[in-house]
Chain A
C-alpha cells in the first residue's frame, strides 16, 4: 500500500511527466489506437490464412458426388409441396424423403412462450441421422438448413433443402464415415436451431420458461462441427461464408479457411461480408476496400446478433459456419451448377470427417479484412489497449493531482490537518456509485414492469417498452437537475477516477468476449471522457457547458437510437426526411424489443451488459457534470 499512498510518490520523474503531458498523451494514445486499427487493413499488416490442423487434409479426397440431377428432382417436388402448404413446413414430405433414404428420422417439437404476452408459438424440426459405419456414434457433424415458407420475408432456402436431401442420399451409400452426420431442417429461423441445440444438450440457454425445447428422441454423440446452408437459387454464382455468432463468437479460423478454399477450388466466387476479393492497383483504394470489409465485420460482430443459424452453435463448443449462395441477377447463361455446390459441401464434410480432434489448432479470435487474410488477436488487441490505456492514464493523473493537492495542503498547514474538510467523503462517493449501479440493474430488469403497465393502458409491447425507455431517459436526464446538489471538487474528482477505472475495466472485459463491441464503445466514449469538464463550476465557460450538454447524446438509449437512425438513413437515403424519421422510429422501437427478447431467448448479453455497466458509468459522469462542484 505504501507504494500507492506514499505522498512522495508524486514527485517521481515519470509522474511529473504524466501530469504535465496528460491530455496530449491521452489523445496521442487514442489516435495511435485508431491509426493502428486503420493500419491493420493494410496487406502488409495482416497474414495470409493457412491450415493449422493437419488432419483436415483439405481437398485430398477424390470427390465422387454429382448432385445436380437429384437436387433438381428434389427441388421440383419440394416446390410443389411448398405451394400446396404455403405457410407451414411440409413435415410429412420431408420426413418421408429422409425415411426413404434409410436414415434414422426424428422430429422435434418446441414451444415458444412469448415473454411479454401470454402467447404460444410451436414449431417442429426434422432431422435424420446417418450412423457412421466406422465408429460407435461417438461424434457427429451437423448439416442444417433453415426452412422458409414461400411467404417468408427472408430469401428462399428451398434449393438448400433439395441439396441437403441429395447430399444425404449420396452420404448414405458411402462407407467411409467416421462421424455420424445429422441432417437437420429447422423451422422459424434461429428459434428452431436454438431449441434443437438446447434439447440436444439438455439445457436452457436463455431465461427459463421462454423457449421450451423439450427432449430429443434421437442423438448421435458429441457434435464436432456444423455447416449451415442457405442457398437462395438453383444457379449459384457466389457463395458467402458467414461466421459471426451470438455475442460475437467466431468459429475456428481453420473451418473458415476450409470453406473458402473448397469454394475457390470448385470455381465459384467466394466472398466475405458479401464482398469479393478485389485487388486494386491503387494502394489507397486497395486499403480502403479491405478496411471497409474489416469495418463491416466489426460492426456485425459488435451487435452480438448471429448472422445465421451457425451462430447459435458456438456456445456449445461446436464450430459452425453458414454458406450462403447467391445468384447474380443478370446472369442467365449457366444452366445451374449444383454439381459444383454439391462438391463443395462434400469436400467440406469429408474433410471434417477426417478430423481426429476437435478444432483447436487455429485462431478463435481474429478479424478478417478479406477472404484470405486474417488479423490475429495479438495484433488487433493492441489498438484497444492503446485506447483504453488513455483512460487509465487520465484516471491516474487525476488521482495524482488529488494526492499532490492534499500533500501541498499538508505541507502548508500541518496543524490544521485535523480540520473537518480534508480527505474524501466516503459516504457520498459510495452512495453515488451504489445508486448509479442500482439504477442500472433496475432498468435492466424493467421491461417486465413496463409491459405490465403498458398492457393496463392497452399499449403494444414495443410501444410500452419504447415509451418506458423514453421516460427513463428523460428521468435520468433531469434527475441531477432536480436534486441540484453541491459537491466538493475532491469528491467529484474521486468519483470520476473510479468511474474511469470502471470504464476501462469494463471495456477490457467486454473485449475479452466481443472485441468489436468493446472497440466501438471505446472509440465513441473514450475521447469524450478525456474532454469532460470536471472542474469547479466557477471556471465553467460556455464551451464547457456545451461539452457537458453533449454528454446526453452518449446516453446508451440515445446513442442506440442515433445509430439506428443513421443506419436507416443509409439504407433508405432516397426517401423523404419525415419518412426516414418514421422508419427510424419504428426500427428503434423494434430494436429495443428485439434486444430484450434476444437476451431472454438466446442469452444475448448486449442489452444486459449495456444497461448494467455502461449506463451506470454514463450516469456517474452525468451526475458529476450537473452537480454544483465547489
Chain B
C-alpha cells in the first residue's frame, strides 16, 4: 500500500508545483511554403522556443521546452548568441530571392560570447567541439586557423548588456565566425536536430522531416539560432529565443505535372499538431496565383492574410493544423490549371557571384562580382575570409565598376599566418546604381606538407563563401523575419526602414599543387620508413661495441640487492 502511495503523492506534489509556478515559455511550429517563379517551391520550417528568463548559470539546470542539451552548452561557454547552419547546395539569390536565413554551403557557425568571457579562443574551441558532438557535424575542425572576428559584418541581433549604456561598444573580439565548406550534411545531422524539439519528430510539423525526402531537394539547410530578446516593449525583462529552422528547395520541373502537395514533398500528410505548441500553422504564399499561373488549394485555407511589406504585396493562405487535423491525416494540395509555366521573375536587387580566374596550380585571382539592380546606390559590407594556404596580396585588390575604380568607404585587413589564422578582409563599398562591381585579389596556391592533404587530395580544397551584408531599401523577394520578431507571423506587414540581408556567395574548389599520392609514392614513403627503421639498429651495431660493465651501486642498493638475494635464494632451495 505504501509503495503505491508514495509515487502517487509525489506525482500530485509535482503537478501542484507546476500549476503554482507555470513555466513561462512557449513553443511555436510553423511551415511556410512559397512557390518561386523558377518553378521551385521554397519550404521553410521554423520551430521557435521562447523562454522568459534571464540567462545565468542556474537557468539551464532545469528546462521545460528549451532543449537542455543545447542549453547546457550555451550556459557552460557563456554564449550570448549562436547561429549554426548546416547546408547542402547553393542558394541562388537571383532565381529564388532572399531566404529566411542566409547560409553558406557546408557548416557555418557564428557566436557572440558574453563580455565576461576571458579566453574567447578556449571557449570557442570548447563550444565547437561540444556542438560537433551534439550535431554529429565536423565542427571540431573549427580552429583559430579558420575563424575570424569580423568587425562590421556581424552585429548582435539580440539584447546585449552594455557597460554604462554605451551604445556603440560592440566588441568584435567576442565574436567568432567560421565556415567549413567541405562539410557534407546528411541524416546524421538531422536526427539530433529533431531531438532538440519538444515533440521530437513524433508529433507536429517535425513528422514531415523525413530524411529520404528532404535530402532529395535542390537545397537544404538546417539552422539553430539562439539569442536573448526583450520580453516587453521597454526591455526590462529578457527572454531566451531559440529558432530551429529547416529550409528546403523543391524542384517541380522534374515531375510530369506541376502540381505539388505536402504528401509529395514529405512523403506523408500531417497527422496532428504538437500538443506542446501554442501555434502550429502552415502558410502558403499565393501571391503568384494570378493571371500567369493559376492554381487552387485543396483543402481551402482557414484564413487569408494580405501582407504589405516594404513595397511588396503578398497574399498568404493560413492553415491552422489543429482545426484541420481533427478529422485525421490531412494533406494540402496545390493543383495547377495550366501546364508547366514559369512565373515572372522580378530579379533580386542585390546578388553576387564569386569565382576563380587563371589556370594552373601556381596562382590565380579571386573575383567577386556584385550586382546592384536598384536605381539608387547601395552600401554593402564585403567580408572575405581566405584560408591561409591561399596567400593573397593586398596591393593587388582592385574594385572596379565598368572602367571606374571604386574606393572603399572603409577597409579592414588582417594578414593570415601559415597554419594559424586566415586572411581577413572587410570592405565597406558604395555600389553605383544599376551596376556590376567587380572585386578582385590575386593569390598564390601554396604547397602543403604531405600530411595536410585531405583524403582524395586531387579533389581540391574548398574556400568558404564571401559574405555581403546590406540593408536593402525595399523588400522585393525578401522573406526574413524582422529583427524584433520571433515567428513567421511577425514577418507579415512588417515594414521597416531597411531589410537586412547577408548574402553568401559560392564556395570555391581550388586545386592546389598536389603530390602524386599514388602507389609509387606510397612505396617510396614505406621504403624510406623501413630504411630509417633499419638504419638505427644497423648503425648502432656496426659503430658501437658491446662491453660488459660492472654495475656500481651505492650502499642502499647494495643493501637492497643483498636482502633480495637472501629472500629469493631460500625460496629456490625449497623448490
Contact = CB atoms under 8 A, between A and B. Distances in A.
Interface string A116-149: 0000000000000001011111110000000000
Contacts of B356: 222
A554 B511 CA distance: 44
A358 B511 contact: yes
A277 to B, nearest CB: 29
Given A133-B89, A138-B507, A175-B216, A202 B459 contact: no
A423 interface: no
Nearest to A315: B359
Given A138-B462, A203-B359, A133 B511 contact: no
A542 B88 CA distance: 81
Contact of B92 (A131, A138, A174): A131
A430 to B, nearest CB: 35
B537 interface: no
Contact of B254 (A172, A203, A356): A172
B217 interface: yes
A341 B345 CA distance: 36
A173 B358 contact: no
B508 A138 contact: yes
A221 B509 contact: yes
Contacts of B87: 136
Interface string B208-222: 000000001111000
Interface string B251-292: 101100000000000000000000000000000000000000
B506 A222 contact: no
A102 interface: yes
A102 B509 contact: no
Nearest to B360: A317
A201 interface: yes
B358 A202 contact: yes
Given A315-B359, A357-B459, 18 more contacts: A102-B38, A133-B219, A133-B251, A136-B87, A136-B89, A136-B105, A136-B181, A136-B507, A138-B105, A138-B509, A139-B509, A172-B254, A173-B253, A173-B254, A203-B359, A316-B359, A356-B459, A358-B459
A138 B506 contact: yes
B511 A203 contact: no
B53 interface: no
A484 interface: no
Contact of B367 (A173, A202, A221): A202
Interface residues of A, number: 29
Contacts of A488: none
Contact of A136 (B90, B217, B358, B518): B90
B346 interface: no
A219 interface: yes
Given A131-B92, A358-B511, A219 B359 contact: no
20 contacts: A131-B90, A133-B219, A133-B251, A134-B88, A136-B88, A137-B90, A172-B253, A175-B216, A175-B251, A202-B367, A203-B359, A219-B355, A222-B356, A222-B460, A222-B508, A222-B510, A315-B359, A316-B359, A358-B511, A361-B518
A221 B506 CA distance: 8
B444 to A, nearest CB: 16
A360 interface: yes
B574 to A, nearest CB: 68
A219 B458 contact: no
A126 B439 CA distance: 26
Contact of A201 (B342, B357, B460): B357
Given A133-B217, A133-B251, A221-B508, A201 B89 contact: no
Q: Which 9 A-B pairs have the closest CB atoms?
A: A202-B357, A136-B105, A357-B458, A136-B90, A138-B509, A133-B218, A316-B359, A357-B459, A360-B458
A179 to B, nearest CB: 10
Given A202-B367, A357-B457, A222 B357 contact: no
Nearest to B249: A133
Nearest to B462: A138
Contacts of A201: 357-359
A360 B514 CA distance: 10
Contacts of A358: 458-460, 511
Nearest to A205: B359
Contacts of A360: 458, 514, 516
A203 B92 contact: no
A329 to B, nearest CB: 41
A104 B92 CA distance: 11
Interface string B166-182: 00000000000000010
A174 B255 CA distance: 10
B552 interface: no
A135 B462 CA distance: 13
B358 A203 contact: yes
Interface string A542-564: 00000000000000000000000
B314 interface: no
B365 interface: yes
Contacts of A137: 90, 506
A258 to B, nearest CB: 17
B506 A136 contact: yes
B511 A222 contact: yes
A356 B459 CA distance: 6
